[in-house]
Structure 1
Amino acid sequence: MAKRGRARKEAKRGLPHFYGRHAVEAALDNEDREVKKLFLTREAAATLDIPEGMQVQYCEVTDLARHVPKDAPHQGMVAEVMPLDDLYLADVMDAGPQGTLLFLDQVTDPHNVGAIFRSAAAFDAVAVVTQDRHAPPESGVVAKAASGALELVPWIRVVNLSRALIEAAEAGYWRIGLAGESEMLLSDALTPGRNALVLGAEGEGLRHNVGEHCDQLARLPISDRMESLNVSNAAAIALYATAMRG
């Protein structure tokens, strides 16, 4: 895939620190990810396949806590990593006749974004597309929630989500925005070919201009007893429905 160069280089707050076995092992297995340094307890190191030449600092559990959010379940391993290189949307869209793109409209919670990546990997989504300024950066929180999927599903960051949706339409994707007020069910809106699912932030939903760039608005068939679902749950259900389409 063509790349634009290093995306978010060393930020003022330092490089991302991924923690937990799944996130760390996935980062080490990803040939496109540069792991700068490992912080490990000796117990965890004994269970990890450490690449030759990798810089390792052995730590006590209490020392590792300095590299992760408070009470984060690091499982004795932390990896200091470089952010992945940026990709253009055009780099990933030619992914076969039934590819599924997932667009997130100002979904900012890192736990939700990480969980969405996990579902995107589980259901073979082509990529997750977010706005550059209205989405969390690569971080240990996102990587932990993604459980390794951050290394498997391309993360496309764009300046303008509506323009990216136009680009997706030109590549043959049918754009479906999830909106609870729609009369049409998602299962009826899906096409047998390429679909682009568009989800908005909890509470706010899709912004008007983003909805205007969808070919169809649709809803999930949830009970009237609940007004809405967590966006990561909605994404998982929508991706499942897309995977099961005829």
Structure 2
Amino acid sequence: MNDEIVYGRNSVGELLKADKPINKILFQSEGTGTHYQELIELARNKRVPFQFVEKSALDRLTGHAKHQGVLAYVAPREYAEVEDILNSARSKGEDPFILVLDEIEDPHNLGALIRTVDAVGAHGVIIPKRRSVGLTATVSKTSAGAVEHVLVVRVTNLVQTLEELKKEGCWIAGAEAGGTEAFSLDLTGPRVLVIGSEGKGISRLVRETCDVMVSLPMKGKINSLNASVAGSVLLYEVLRQRQFKG
């Protein structure tokens, strides 16, 4: 799978109208027109992330092609819905086991975590639309193909999504230093694991939505782990407890 760049007002407009999986749209910051404004409004209504850049940036990205001031990064595969993840768990007769990533921006971390999600048999991954890497070629490569087998959902509001998962009976555990040691907690049952961003960790509102904060014991000089490493260890702890209980 490769990242696809689509440019031109009509081409990008058709992608938006067809609800194709778009990671981000770049609009030229200089000069506007009626059609241009219509695309901006359409992107806003479709909740597709967009930003304004200099014309020179669009020229460089398109090889100086006639881009008409707009360029879209198209995801290499379709995103799923939260209900798809829940249905996957139901179809297997299993309690939901979901990974939520709060503003993970490194595609290598996302790819590595998707690979682990597939390995432990979790039912899917949820990421936010903004301030987060989406499905890209780098993510696909890092996942070693697991992205083809794991349901990935992009949502506008993580807090609202977590609240909806609570109504489905899921228990939300956020990973954060200073939390209760994960190895001493019961992580079985309908479970959502939240991993925060590489630098800031879990955002305040998401943290306040979690039912419990969990951590890993740190015996060395370094007091933190890479997001994909910490997430993978916790995912395997959930799997271990599930297998032991089963």
Which band: TM-score by shorter chain?
0.5 to 0.7
User: Could you say which residue in structure 2 is the equivalent of 1:152?
Assistant: 149
In the TM superposition, what is the alpha-carbon distance from 1:87 to its structure 2 partner? 2.1
Amino acid at match of 1:176: A
Of 122, 136, 160, which residue of structure 1 is paired with 2:119? 122
Report the aligned-residue RMSD.
2.2
Of 188, 192, 200, which residue of structure 1 is paired with 2:188? 192
In the TM superposition, what is the alpha-carbon distance from 1:113 to its structure 2 partner? 0.6
Q: Does 1:88 align with 2:87?
A: no
In the TM superposition, what is the alpha-carbon distance from 1:137 to its structure 2 partner? 2.6
Separation in structure 1 between the aligned mates of residue 104 and residue 24 of structure 2, nearest angstrom: 24
Structure 2 stretches of 5 or more lacking a match? 1-17, 28-73
Q: Does 1:165 align with 2:158?
A: no
Separation in structure 1 between the aligned mates of residue 226 and residue 20 of structure 2, nearest angstrom: 32
Structure 1 stretches of 5 or more lacking a match? 14-80
- Secondary structure of the residue aligned to 1:93 is helix
Amino acid at match of 1:93: L
CA contact (8 A) 1:99 1:195 kept: yes
In the TM superposition, what is the alpha-carbon distance from 1:10 to its structure 2 partner? 9.8
1:151-187 deviation line (CA, Å, top 9, x unaligned) = 01111000011111111111111100001122x1113
CA contact (8 A) 2:79 2:151 kept: no
User: Could you say which residue in structure 1 is the equivalent of 2:60?
Assistant: none
More helix by share: 2
In the TM superposition, what is the alpha-carbon distance from 1:213 to its structure 2 partner? 0.6
User: Could you say which residue in structure 2 is the equivalent of 1:108?
Assistant: 105
User: Could you say which residue in structure 2 is the equivalent of 1:242?
Assistant: 238
User: Could you say which residue in structure 1 is the equivalent of 2:224?
Assistant: 228
TM-score normalised per structure 1:
0.66
CA contact (8 A) 1:128 1:153 kept: yes
- Percent of aligned pairs with the same amino acid: 31
Of 22, 29, 37, which residue of structure 2 is paired with 1:8? 22
1:195-242 deviation line (CA, Å, top 9, x unaligned) = 100010123111111011111011012225221000000111011000
Separation in structure 2 between the aligned mates of residue 163 and residue 97 of structure 1, nearest angstrom: 24
CA contact (8 A) 1:117 1:128 kept: yes
Separation in structure 2 between the aligned mates of residue 158 and residue 178 of structure 1, nearest angstrom: 20
Separation in structure 1 between the aligned mates of residue 238 and residue 146 of structure 2, nearest angstrom: 19
